Structure 1
Amino acid sequence: MSKPTPTETARTSQALNVVVLTVSDTRGSHNDTSGHYLAGAAEAAGHRVIETMIEKDEVYLLRAHLSRWIASADAQVVLMTGGTGFTGRDSTPEAVAPLLDKYVEGFGELFRQLSFQEIGTSTVQSRALAGLANGTLVFCLPGSTGACRTGWEGIICEQLDSTHKPCNFVGQLKSIAS
């Protein structure tokens, strides 16, 4: 194994501005374990959590919040948890998809592959998705804390790390003025 060059050892990960949105009709700040997990994981990775929110599973409310973050000069990443299943109230994919400029097709596929190892065939009911809109990366994860952990540790953390090779999403995100 070769020794890292001085340039490689001097690299640092770029801190990103992250928003965490929990989609739930029943959770509050006292029991939002998934939102708390995602915010803590993002901060532990060196990112700035600029806003956290819990919103009911209502398509137009979700679109309004997401549109605000997409249009803002500050939000680079939106981590959404909840509303990705098949029940009548689950509407996160329907709320998010029309706002995306590009889909990250492999995200849902890879998430379900990783999830299959943990929960078996029940993973087929996950409609996890991700995409890019106006330089803002949006990840939609199931509402369980275990699913958020799977998505963060198995995919998202590395893809938000500017030093991850051979590629990551950081170069595709809007620049934030310092």
Structure 2
Amino acid sequence: MSRIDESKEFLPVRIAVLTVSDTRTLADDRSGDTLVDRIEKAGHTLAARGILPDDRHQIAEQLKIWSREPEIDVIISTGGTGLTGRDVTVEAHRDVYEKEIEAFGTVFTIVSMNKIGTSAVQSRATGGVANGTYLFALPGSPGACKDAWDEILSLQLDYRHRPCNFVEIFPRLEEHKRRK
């Protein structure tokens, strides 16, 4: 089972938070605040924060910009993962991914099932990699952000987590771009 290896040094990760909403502002962005609070309490660095409307092109462009930024290791978006016509965050993420982390959505669904039962079927949480940066799209509720962070991301973004974690493979995410 997973565990934290206390003999290893904690390595802070630089994380950007993007809220996708047609109605939220920084003043009332509870989901973004939830993520920022957890990121900082874990010892990571908030590298950037923003809010965009439910517009696929704008979301994808921001993800591309941040994924190319050397001071950002991870991008977490919240909102726009549902089933309505305005929910386009998943599509925007997939426009940017070089590789999708299919199991992220599966594990998130398992975590959600334990909290909200079959309502978990309505989430389309996703994860992927682009430009050596991890990207995760979470639902827009504070509860979903807590669940994703507490049960998945806090562990996978901790270098000390065993048997493996996302941080230890950062140097290899772009090895395919190196000259042979």
Q: Please confirm whether the aligned pair reaches a TM-score higher than 0.5, indicating the same fold.
A: yes
1:139 pairs with 2:119: no
Unaligned 5+ segments in structure 1 are 1-7
Offset, 1:41: 0.4
Pick the aligned partner of 1:94 from 82, 91, 95: 91
Q: Residue in 2 aligned with 1:85?
A: 82
1:23 pairs with 2:20: yes
Q: Residue in 2 aligned with 1:172?
A: 169
Alignment of 1:114-133 (within 5 A): 114-133=111-130
Q: For 1:75, give the aligned amino acid.
A: I
Asked if the contact 1:136/1:174 (under 8 Å) is kept, the reply is no
**TM-align CA RMSD:** 1.3
Unaligned 5+ segments in structure 2 are 173-180
TM-score normalised per structure 2: 0.90
Q: For 1:58, give the aligned amino acid.
A: D
Q: Residue in 2 aligned with 1:45?
A: 42
The percent of aligned pairs where both chains have the same amino acid is 43
Say which SS state the counterpart of residue 76 (structure 2) adopts: strand
Q: For 1:154, give the aligned amino acid.
A: E
Q: Residue in 2 aligned with 1:13?
A: 10
Q: For 1:117, give the aligned amino acid.
A: N
Offset, 1:22: 0.4
**Deviations 1:65-124, CA, capped at 9 Å, x for gaps:** 100011111110001100000011000011010211111111101111110111111111
Q: Residue in 2 aligned with 1:156?
A: 153
1:55 pairs with 2:52: yes
TM-score normalised per structure 1: 0.91
Asked if the contact 1:70/1:133 (under 8 Å) is kept, the reply is yes
**Deviations 1:146-165, CA, capped at 9 Å, x for gaps:** 00001001100000000101
- Mapped to 2, the partners of 1:9 and 1:125 lie a distance apart of 37
Say which SS state the counterpart of residue 128 (structure 2) adopts: strand
Q: For 1:74, give the aligned amino acid.
A: E
Asked if the contact 1:81/1:140 (under 8 Å) is kept, the reply is yes
Q: For 2:75, give the aligned amino acid.
A: V
Offset, 1:173: 2.5
